[in-house]
Amino acid sequence: MDAQELTFTPAVGDHAFTPQQRRLLALAHELGRDKFAARAAQWDEEASFPFANYEDLRAAGLLGICVPQAHGGLGADYPTYMMVAAELGRFCGATALTWNMHVSSTMWTGVLAEGIPMTETQRAEHAARSKLHFRRVVEQGAIYAQPFSEGSAAAAGRAPFGTTARKVEGGWLVNGRKIFASLSGAADYYGVLCTEDKGDEKPDARDTLYLAVPGTSPGFAITGDWNPLGMRGTVSRNLAFKDVFVSDDEQLMPRGVYWKGAQAWPAMFFTLAPTYLGIANAAYDFTVQYLRGEVPGEPPVKRRMYPTKQVAVAQMRIQLEQMRSIFLRAVLEARPNPSKDERMRLYAAQYTVMEGANDIARLAIRTCGGQSMMKHLPLERLYRDSRCGALMLPWTAELVLDRMGREALYEAGEKDE
Ligand SMILES: Cc1cc2nc3c(=O)[nH]c(=O)nc-3n(C[C@H](O)[C@H](O)[C@H](O)COP(=O)(O)OP(=O)(O)OC[C@H]3O[C@@H](n4cnc5c(N)ncnc54)[C@H](O)[C@@H]3O)c2cc1C
């Protein structure tokens, strides 16, 4: 594949992409356009997992996009992953969102771990264990899920996780439950966040453990239905853990390091956004095609000559350009221990993309009109999928406003008398 030129405008917009970024963007675009777009309606209709897309991602090496090259992966860095994820989101939101859960497991343990403070012993331990996980992804095509949410304040970062792990000989005993575990039933490993159970001591978020629970473990169960409004192909059911034994090697990070990582790398919580930037692009692209009377299989009725529709498309494009700009700025400046301004921009980018995606999808339906929201067209699915972005913890739209307002008015440690 020619790494020099792109024949399309990527979902993130134009940019001086590196050769690797151009290559991966072209790969994602082709896979999405030629394979994922046509299948998206089926996963949505059935609320079933996009297994066929994962076969394609596996064959293309994209399950290992963030696995370091030294371990056989593609070695993409944070901005490259974020750009490619937006491109996939354009064609199938559920695939992009679940792929994010999988890739994040390799990003936390790989490129991001380098920026997290660890002792020499912890770093050596981490190097040995992460090798095992990378090998599983690269050689066996293993899929990792990222079940953090519990329906408590924990996933919002306001309380320790209620799921616990107690140290036993050779490993850990995990107990508890998770909700909204995307990839449930499809993942080989579930990257669970839990609190170390230290007996009598009060649970403390600093004792968060990040463990990979094999899906075949005795005591592990997937429960509950899955019939949501949107992102139906994520199959995000509940997980239950009853005295699940997990060996020491399944620690995705050394004891106490996840908590430090979450403090050091806020950009990690921005990785859900590219999916929704992709969805916003898809809604905009569809609107232009529809108003021009060029949607394949539809009567060639043009609606572009009405000034009100032209104004609406202009509004959509302005919002899309705003989303792309702040998104690109945020991903390019992402680093450990960002400045206050960089952190505020990250929050602003998250809010802009998550709320903006639904705004654009809403305008698309209003502008294209009643016939555009029929089930055989993608727009109504994009509308439903776009609604889910602002609900994702820890950075829901509400919590971002909450953080921004507080952090704008109070410096660290400041209190009112
Ligand atoms: C399609 C989809 C896929 C998902 N996949 C995953 C996944 O793979 N892994 C995973 O871990 N989670 C996943 N989630 C879950 C998601 O991140 C949230 O945990 C979930 O949407 C929260 O739902 P809830 O009803 O428990 O919200 P609640 O926690 O009850 O929150 C409701 C709202 O209240 C606000 N709120 C919450 N806590 C606070 C607080 N302390 N202070 C102030 N306001 C607060 C927030 O704005 C929130 O939106 C997924 C969600 C969706 C919709």
pLDDT, residue 361, reads 98
Which atom of ligand 1 is found nearest the CA of 399?
47
Q: Which alpha helices (H) appear in 266-339, and where do they start and end?
A: 273-291, 307-333
The alpha carbon of 179 and the centre of ligand 1 are apart by a number of angstroms equal to 9
Give the model confidence (pLDDT) of 92-116 as tens digits. 999 999 999 999 999 989 988 888 9
Q: Tell me the pLDDT of the chain averaged across its residues.
A: 96
As a whole number, mean pLDDT of residues 204-232 equals: 97
Is the pLDDT score of 311 beyond 60? yes
Instruction: Looking at the CA of residue 152, tell me the nearest atom of ligand 1.
Output: 29
DSSP conformation letters of 351-407? HHHHHHHHHHHHHHHHHH-GGGGSTTSSHHHHHHHHHTGGG-SSS-HHHHHHHHHHH
The pair of structure tokens assigned to 149 is: 């949410």
> Is the pLDDT assigned to residue 117 strictly greater than 80?
yes
Question: Which residue's CA is the closest to the ligand 1 atom numbered 14?
Answer: 180
pLDDT digits (tens, 9 = 90+) for 123-138: 999 999 999 999 999 9
Q: Which atom of ligand 1 is nearest to the CA of 97?
A: 3
The protein residue whose alpha carbon is closest to atom 26 in ligand 1 is: 151
Residue 2 — very low, low, confident or very high, per pLDDT cuts 50/70/90? very low
Lowest mean pLDDT among 195-199, 220-224, 242-246, 377-381: 195-199
| Centre of ligand 1 from the C-alpha of residue 256, in Å | 24
pTM to 2 decimal places = 0.97
Total number of residues shown for the chain: 417
pLDDT tens digit sequence for 153-185: 888 888 899 999 999 999 999 999 999 999 999
- The residue whose CA has the least distance to atom 47 of ligand 1 is 398
Distance CA 379, CA 384 (A): 9
Q: How far apart, in whole angstroms, are the C-alpha atoms of residue 19 and residue 81?
A: 14
The pLDDT value recorded for residue 153 is 85
User: How many whole angstroms separate alpha carbon 226 and alpha carbon 98?
Assistant: 15
Q: What is the pLDDT of residue 1?
A: 46
Pocket of ligand 1 (CB under 6 A): 101, 146-149, 151, 153, 155-156, 158, 180-182, 231, 234, 236, 388, 391-393, 396, 398-399, 402
Q: How far is the CA of 4 from the centre of ligand 1 (A)?
A: 41
CA–CA dist 213, 176 (Å, integer): 13
- For the cut 50, the answer to whether the pLDDT of residue 287 exceeds it is yes
Q: What are the two backbone dihedrals, phi and then psi, of residue 302, each rounded to the nearest 5 degrees? A: -90, 140
* Amino acid 342: pLDDT: 98
At 168, is the secondary structure helix, strand, or coil? strand
- Residue 4: what pLDDT? 64
The answer to whether 395 touches 276, Cβ cutoff 8 Å, is: no
CA of 393 to the centre of ligand 1 (A): 5
Average pLDDT over residues 56-85: 98
pLDDT of residue 3: 55
At 319-363, the pLDDT tens digits run 999 999 999 999 999 999 999 999 999 999 999 999 999 999 999
Amino acid making up residue 170 = G
Exposed, middle or buried by CB within 10 Å (0-12, 13-18, 19+), for 157? Answer: middle
pLDDT at 5: 86
